[in-house]
Amino acid sequence: MKKNNTVIFSTSLVLSVALGVVLISSQSYEQDEIFKFSQKVTPVTVPESMSFAGEEVPLDNFDVKERVERELLSNVYFHSQTFYYLKLANRWLPQIEAILQKNNIPIDFKYLAVAESGLQNVISPARAEGFWQFRKATAIEYGLEVNDVIDERYHLEKATEAACKYLQKSYDDFGSWAMAAASYNCGIRRLQDASEDQGIDNYYDLYLNTETGRYVYRILAIKAVLENPKKFGFYIAEKDLYQPIPYTAYKVENNIEDLNAFAKGKGANYKMLKLLNPWLRQPYIKNISGKDYEIKIPS
């Protein structure tokens, strides 16, 4: 309702102005006064050129460029999530990079782990778990131990090694790192079927389901933002980044009946032991496989 050029808003009315959401109390505001509250939002700028794992992204294709832009918008304007990525990346990505390099997998695949899990030990609705989001059957196929006591999907180093094996196999099948990345989302067989049905071996030209069709573009967007956060408006001080956690590794060959007592005996506690060893799924170890394990205790 307007009266004397004044706009009246009822209590708890939410006004969305230029994508800025403002909670207005039961007061009267001149129109110009209201717009002082609004958030200034500008479009993202798609880089002139992009690459993934040494392969150029065909940004001259309007569809490819628009898909990249969509994922950039999704990440650049999801501020809390992207800031959390930046903080966690400082702690975890150096460890992932070292394993990728050792296995001759392009470093850009570290951003696949971000896209998969946000660098957190999450569980998907399909029961894919850990940083690299392995399902149980696939994890076992690629050499991870998964049972009620030990679940190496939650072991960062071993799960990264398994991911390297998968990605190398996929690259050997497709001859393209973009296709290898896409197969991580939908599976090698399903991507092969789509490629054969359409007579296309290029990810950027394939018609795929929505999730896989967005997948590599999401990785590209995450790479662009994490490599150059200031370009996209993210300013974060070094002191605000999460630092790697120093630890001492203890070799374990036998059963441990009480991991709480084990941690306390090493000057730590059960909470910190679980933080650094999420692959230990019970408060004890039954060494079913007869393998040696390393348990990390914070220094």
Q: What is the per-residue pLDDT across 160-205, written as a single tens digit (0 to 9) for each? A: 999 999 999 999 999 999 999 999 999 999 999 999 999 999 999 9
Q: Which residue has the tokens 């690629």?
A: 142
pLDDT at 14 over 80: no
DSSP-derived secondary structure letter, 239: G
Which residue type sits at 139? A
Per residue in 127-136, pLDDT (tens digit) is: 999 999 999 9
pLDDT at 3 over 70: no
Per residue in 56-99, pLDDT (tens digit) is: 999 999 999 999 999 999 999 999 999 999 999 999 999 999 99
Q: Is 43 left (phi over 0), alpha (psi -120 to 50) or beta?
A: beta
Length of the chain measured in residues: 299
Please give the pLDDT value at position 243: 96
What is the percent of the chain with per-residue pLDDT over 90, rounded to a whole number?
Answer: 83
| Interval 143-165 mean pLDDT | 97
DSSP-derived secondary structure letter, 23: E
How many CA within 13 A on the CB side of residue 159?
29
**Residues contacting 290, CB < 8 A, separation 6+:** none
Q: Which among 295, 201, 190, 296 is positioned nearest to 247, based on CA atoms?
A: 296
| Interval 39-49 mean pLDDT | 87
**Residues contacting 4, CB < 8 A, separation 6+:** none
What is the percent of the chain with per-residue pLDDT over 70, rounded to a whole number?
Answer: 87
Rounded CA-CA distance 271/263 in Å is 9
Instruction: Identify the band that residue 215 occupies on the pLDDT scale cut at 50, 70 and 90.
Output: very high
Rounded CA-CA distance 276/157 in Å is 12
Tokens of 105: 């997998």
Q: What is the CATH number of domain 51-240?
A: 1.10.530.10
Dihedral of CA 126/129/133/134: which sign?
negative
Asked if 119 and 84 touch (Cβ cutoff 8 Å), the reply is no
Instruction: Identify the band that residue 4 occupies on the pLDDT scale cut at 50, 70 and 90.
Output: very low
Instruction: Output the DSSP codes for 32-51.
Output: HHHHTTSPP-------S--E
Please give the pLDDT value at position 168: 98
Please give the pLDDT value at position 290: 78
Tokens of 134: 């392995």
Instruction: Identify the band that residue 36 occupies on the pLDDT scale cut at 50, 70 and 90.
Output: low
| Interval 285-295 mean pLDDT | 86
Residues 3-10: contacts with CB within 8 Å, 24+ apart?
A: 5/30, 5/31, 6/30, 7/31, 7/34
Q: Which among 195, 213, 170, 178 is positioned nearest to 52, based on CA atoms?
A: 178
pLDDT at 25 over 90: no
The reported pTM is 0.85
Mean pLDDT of the chain: 89
